[in-house]
Amino acid sequence: MAKLPNLYRRGNIWRYRRRVPHDIQDNIGRKEFLKSLNTADYSTAVRRYRTVCNEVEQIITEARGVVLNDNSGWSTLIHKSDTHDPQIKAPPLSDVDGLRTLIKTVVEEVLEVHTPKKPSITLDDLYQRYMDDPARNRSKKTVMTYQSVYNVLIDIFGADKPIADIDREDCRQFMDVVRHLPANARKKFPKKSLVKISAIARERKMKPMAPLTINKYVNKLSAMLNWAVDEELLDHNPAIGLKVADPVHAQDKRLPFSEHQLTKIFTALSDKSGAEFWVPYIGLYNGLRLNEICQLNVEDIIVRDKVWCFNITRETDRGVDDKVLKTKASERIVPIHPQLLELGFMRYLKQFERKPRGKLFPDIRVGTTGYRSDIFSKWFARFLKSIDADGDRTSFHSFRHNFRDALREADVRHEIAMLLGGWSDGSRGKSVQMFYGKGYTMKVVLEELAKVRYVV
């Protein structure tokens, strides 16, 4: 489909822009026509575009026909019948300024009469409609974050604020309140509003939430406003691009465990069993995310190409249906590292032969957010501290950094490394699923994974 001239998209909204030819800018009184078409739908935008475009081109045509005659008057007039308002009178030939005023009036009318606005809904309406949208699937943790965002919005603006009245300054005010809130604000100040808590925390110089968390709140607000734009409830999203700077670079947020830490950790694990023993080992040798490990069902241990594998998937056949994954690339099948088999993983699995419908680690309870990793993460942090293996910027997630470094040191093929870790291939903008479909068998992947070794 050919691109329509002067039609462009800004954010999610289609707009019309037409530059006024230089020689008639004085007559029309502007350098360009600019009009939001108030829709994110292309076919609707085209219909509205044609109406506005035709009238603007008519104005330009008529303005070109209006020429000064010996600097004394106009040789051509726009007649009363050419305007939208029958009350607009065509000025006399000698009234140059009057005719210019007439043209400006018609221009303003063209830019205002089209695409009438719908009545604005309230913040409360927006939240309820957005959260009820059947096209969106959210984890319990995500729903809790949206609820927190809603609580801040209501504290600041009230439930009845029309969303059409929300502007950039309001969004900045929201961000300013959030960026001074301490962690667990409601628990620390149960009887105060979030706005008041933010002011108290700022005054007392309390440690605020991490920049990543603050930006998560702002992103959730922006997501709701984007949805309103897509639903043609808003003309544009005033929260686009808002964020706080994060002084810590992404690659420095977590560090791999040192050899000294790894030795302490796995020496101390020798007297553990169940999840406490296996979850750290799987994190180190297979590089799985903590929640990917904690939510495994027994049925997720499968054989593919005669190789025992972890099936990292949202799908559930017989087991507990509560699994969530971080990204689309997270869904993958990976061989179980040979070191885990040597440690007796298949013996551990054998105990579930008569009860194959449950969790692989049934002793891990579900946290309040719906993630099983929450409980285990807190236990592991206490465990590190108890054996004097805790350190700056290290946590369970550090195992994935160890795993990534081990893949590099072993010179594991890039495509297979991305598959093993469930990482998307940003350099190509493609999911690692693309590579699995190009012929790597699990035997080949296992050969590469077996190169991953540690001094533990």
Q: Check if the beta carbon of residue 269 is closer than 8 Å to that of residue 328.
A: no
* Residue-wise pLDDT tens digits, 12-42: 678 888 888 888 887 777 888 888 887 777 7
Lowest-pLDDT range of 134-143, 371-380, 421-430: 421-430
- Report d(CA 224, CA 218) in Å as an integer: 10
- Report d(CA 284, CA 252) in Å as an integer: 19
Please indicate whether residue 125 or residue 107 has the higher confidence score (pLDDT). 125
216 CA to centre of own chain? 8
Q: What is the mean pLDDT of the chain?
A: 84
- % the chain with pLDDT above 90: 55
Element (H, E) at 404: helix 398-409
- φ, ψ of residue 166 in degrees (nearest 5): -75, 125
* Residue-wise pLDDT tens digits, 249-259: 555 568 999 99
168 CA to centre of own chain? 19
CATH for 123-247?
Answer: 1.10.150
- Tracing tokens 């606005």 back to the chain, one arrives at 117
Q: Check if the beta carbon of residue 448 is closer than 8 Å to that of residue 413.
A: yes
pLDDT band, very low/low/confident/very high, at 135 (cuts 50, 70, 90): confident
Residue type, 286: N
* Residue-wise pLDDT tens digits, 204-213: 999 999 898 9
**Mean pLDDT along residues 54-72:** 65
The 10 Å Cβ neighbour count of residue 109 is: 16
**pLDDT (0 to 100) of residue 109:** 59
Domain edges within the chain: 7-113, 123-247, 259-449
Q: Report how far apart, in Å, the C-alpha atoms of 181 and of each of 13, 119, 159, 192 are.
A: 33, 34, 21, 12
* Among the listed residues 290, 303, 285, 299, the one whose alpha carbon sits nearest the alpha carbon of residue 340: 285
**pLDDT (0 to 100) of residue 71:** 41
Q: Is the pLDDT of residue 158 over 60?
A: yes
Each as own residue / partner, the long-range contacts of residues 394-397 (CB below 8 Å, 24 or more positions apart, any chain) are 394/254, 394/255, 394/256, 394/257, 394/261, 395/254, 396/280, 396/283, 396/290, 397/254, 397/289, 397/290
Which one-letter DSSP state was computed for residue 26?
A: H
Strands in 300-445 per DSSP E: 301-304, 307-312, 332-335
- Tracing tokens 């939208």 back to the chain, one arrives at 84
- Report d(CA 226, CA 300) in Å as an integer: 37
Q: Check if the beta carbon of residue 124 is closer than 8 Å to that of residue 163.
A: no
pLDDT band, very low/low/confident/very high, at 88 (cuts 50, 70, 90): very low
Between 259-268 and 274-286, two packed helices, what is the crossing angle to 10 degrees? 150
Spatial neighbors of 442 by CB under 8 A, at least 6 apart, are: 304, 305, 306, 307, 309, 333, 335
Q: What angle do CA 85, 90, 91 make, to 5 degrees?
A: 140
**pLDDT (0 to 100) of residue 117:** 55
Would you list the DSSP string of 342-353?
A: HTTHHHHHHTTT
**Mean pLDDT along residues 278-299:** 97
The pair of three-digit structure tokens given for residue 434, joined into one six-digit string: 């693309």
Looking from the CA of 202 toward its CB, the CA atoms found within 13 Å total 11
pLDDT band, very low/low/confident/very high, at 74 (cuts 50, 70, 90): very low
With DSSP H G I counted as helix, E B as strand and the rest as coil, what are the percentages for the chain, rounded to 5? 50, 10, 40
Strands 13-19 and 32-36: antiparallel
**Mean pLDDT along residues 237-253:** 78
Please indicate whether residue 96 or residue 180 has the higher confidence score (pLDDT). 180
Q: What is the CA radius of gyration of the chain?
A: 31
* Among the listed residues 282, 248, 280, 249, the one whose alpha carbon sits nearest the alpha carbon of residue 389: 280
**pLDDT (0 to 100) of residue 356:** 78
CATH for 259-449?
Answer: 1.10.443.10
- Report d(CA 102, CA 322) in Å as an integer: 66
| Within this chain, domains 123-247 and 259-449 share the same CATH topology | no
**pLDDT (0 to 100) of residue 122:** 94
Please name every residue paired with 17 in a beta bridge, in sequence order, or none if there are none. Answer: 34
pLDDT band, very low/low/confident/very high, at 62 (cuts 50, 70, 90): confident
Q: Is the pLDDT of residue 66 over 60?
A: no
**pLDDT (0 to 100) of residue 120:** 80
Q: Is the pLDDT of residue 75 over 90?
A: no
The 10 Å Cβ neighbour count of residue 10 is: 11
DSSP 3-state of 103? helix
Q: Is the pLDDT of residue 382 over 80?
A: yes
pLDDT band, very low/low/confident/very high, at 97 (cuts 50, 70, 90): low
Residue type, 97: D
Provide the phi-psi class of 254: left if phi over 0, else alpha when psi is between -120 and 50, else beta: beta
16 CA to centre of own chain? 28
What order do you get walking across the sheet with 32-36 strand by strand? Answer: 7-10, 13-19, 32-36
Q: Is the pLDDT of residue 69 over 50?
A: no
**pLDDT (0 to 100) of residue 131:** 95
